Chain A
Amino acid sequence: MNIVIKNGHIVDPSQKIDGIGDMVIEDGKIKEIISHKSKVKSQQKNPPTPPFTKGGSGGIKDLELRTINAEGRVVIPGLIDMHAHLREPGFEYKETIKTGTAAAVRGGFTTVCCMPNTYPVNDNASVTEFIIRKAAREGLCTVYPIGAITKGQKGEELAEMGAMRNEGCIAFSDDGYPVMNSLMMRRAFEYSKSFGVPIISHCEDLTLSEGGVMNEGLLSVTLGLKGIPSEAEKIIVYRDIMLAELTGGKLHVAHVSTEGSVELIRDAKKRGTPVTAETCPHYFSLTEDAVRDYDTNAKVNPPLRTKRDIDAVKEGLQDGTIDVIATDHAPHHRDEKLKEFDLAPSGISGLDTALSLSIRLVEEGVLTMSQLIEKMALNPSRILGLPLYGLKGMLRPGADADIIIIDMKKEVRIEASKFVSKGKNTPFDGWMLKGIPVVTISRGRIYEWQ
């Protein structure tokens, strides 16, 4: 089927497009973008560049043509989530590839990278192959697995990165179980260079954070909950920056939550260290105050921090220190969260809400729409490299038809019970947010909502 999206406000930072136009999609690929030159909004700031082709839409087959009127709406590349937990295989009661990708599509994501902490762990090619095949059969969007750095995520022996890479892993991480042994981490950085893939590091000094369930500070003292100091994150961020400098391996810092980490990464980038970083919507939307009522839905690792940290994370997003907004989508079953705060698992179900929460940054003036798309589509594509780059995170002719259409004005009440994800664990229940996708096109397939 061929699709024409008419009269939308198209934004694509990869081509510096920011204006009204039409888009033609043929056989699951973007064919061309036709600018309504007179209506281009950002003409002064960003004069239209060559990819804005002029003229008519000749060459479209008339058969099976679907026209979508996107007038008054924003048309952007489908988002890429670099950090999600799809839970399959092993924890299908929390989420499956099918439900997780359905939530992704609902939330505007057309590519999801899934962390290896499944059961069995994705530390070998056969698990990778299982995920890829399952995603091809049941997934609503593209899925790229992230393989484990070490066997069983135990931090003791390198996993077969090469074999997993061949099956489709695009990065490696022991997310949640950070490699504590510095020598092992050094080897991981060195070995990963053979395949040019990034090492995604969940930075947490496990000895320092042991037993902790929230941010360390006056509030943790007041609530009688064991705190995790921000130093637990900073120490490993710094260690991994040092190791990336030593080895030349690519470091991607996962879910940055503290002011100190932002500063360390900023300094490293100035020195030219091969480091990139991500944060998640909850780290710029909520402070530790969200756990005041012992709300286990706000229990997440790293923990929610302070206003100061939120401001630093926003600054890091603004000045480019933080390249990516990922979800760290961590769905859990209701019964698991309905527990003693100490015993409830960490994590927030994020795919349904990430875009709307991030669009608040545009409303606040922290990011432009174009920068937001960089953080949520283009930069993940660049960081993860091939096979994404050129196909995903951009609206260039020839790229996959992964496109979302957003109604920026419509305000929607977040209702956890209506999440598409199986995980209803969110601290954002009841929030009023703008910018929910009304159409998601994933590899040429159209999903629409009222």
Chain B
Amino acid sequence: MLNKKDLLGIKELSVEEINLILDTAAGFKDVLKRDIKKVPTLRGKTAVNLFFEPSTRTRTSFELAAKRLSTDVINFSVPTSSVVKGESLIDTALTVQALGADFIIIRHSSSGVPHLLAKKLVASVINAGDGTNEHPTQALLDAFTIKEKKGKIEGLKIAIVGDITHSRVAKSNIYSLKKLGAMVRLIGPPTLIPKEIEGIGVKVFHDMDVGLKDVNVVMMLRIQMERQGKGFFPSTEEYFKNWGLTPERLSLAKGDVIVMHPGPMNRGIEITSEIADGPQSVILEQVTNGIAVRMAVMYLLSGVKR
């Protein structure tokens, strides 16, 4: 069991805690392979997906994870417009808690919201993505997938490619992979990689061909179309020419490289279809592993007495 109430970010986890989650997830993955994919572990508990940002895959993944654990789950989507109408974040969260939630799974466009709620709520708060801060369960499922494919993480060269500045997935992955002993490279245009980030102990490459050399894992990030023309990069065409993952570029990496993507993908912008659908891609396995990892997180947080 984790000796904490909330999962706020990878920053807040120790190496032991990360490994505990990954090991526990392995057990739950076995459950998912069974014909009857449900265990009674958390029967009688209630989880609420409190999503202030639209999401289908993460929300569905948490929903299935809860259901596989026999936890009742409710989706409480708050379109931004109704927030503007008046109810404060704290009031919304307190309302959800009063409905009987044991787990509040939160996604919000502002960084630090899970931290604020964790202080105000007795329920477990699970961060499903906050602003440009963290998306810890994505990093955990990525680590789980790499470990499954490569047997270990320590010593691997892992490149994360794309919009680092605005990516909570990248941030959580940097923290987790660093803690687990990988060598992390970041690749992308200087407008999308904060110059201070080397202070965390990662290497930054703006030339993708140089950055991909000999890496064991390539993690592609989704390029958000709204960054186009805002001064981050002039056009998606130009982006693809410089930082899109093509078979030619991928051949610079190690022969047994695996390619990951948190989804949803922009084919032809950050990644070509040949790669996305090719043998090196583990993208769909990431999705499956996400359920096991989220089951592990909910299970491990349920031990703290409140």
Residues of A within 8 A of B (CB): 216-218, 221-226, 293-294, 335, 338-343
Contact = CB atoms under 8 A, between A and B. Distances in A.
Interface string B189-202: 00000101101100
Contacts of B110: 340-343
Given A222-B11, A342-B110, A342-B111, A217 B134 contact: no
Contacts of B112: 223-225, 294, 340-341
Contacts of B116: 294, 340-341
Contacts of A293: 115
Contacts of A294: 111-112, 115-116
Where chain B touches its partner, the secondary structure class is mixed
Where chain A touches its partner, the secondary structure class is loop
B89 interface: yes
A221 B174 CA distance: 12
Nearest to B9: A224
A224 B199 contact: no
Given A341-B110, A341-B111, A218 B131 contact: no
Interface of B: 11, 88-90, 108-113, 115-116, 130-134, 165, 168, 171, 194, 196-197, 199-200
Given A293-B115, A294-B111, A342-B111, A224 B88 contact: no
Contacts of A339: 88-89
A359 B200 CA distance: 37
A217 B196 contact: yes
Nearest to A225: B111
A221 B111 contact: no
A217 B131 CA distance: 17
22 contacts: A218-B199, A218-B200, A222-B11, A222-B200, A223-B111, A223-B112, A224-B133, A225-B111, A225-B131, A293-B115, A294-B115, A294-B116, A338-B88, A338-B90, A340-B108, A340-B110, A341-B110, A341-B116, A342-B110, A342-B111, A342-B131, A343-B110
Contacts of B11: 222
B194 A221 contact: yes
A217 B197 CA distance: 9
B115 A224 contact: no
Contacts of B111: 223-225, 294, 341-342
Given A218-B197, A340-B108, A342-B111, A224 B171 contact: yes
A216 B199 CA distance: 14
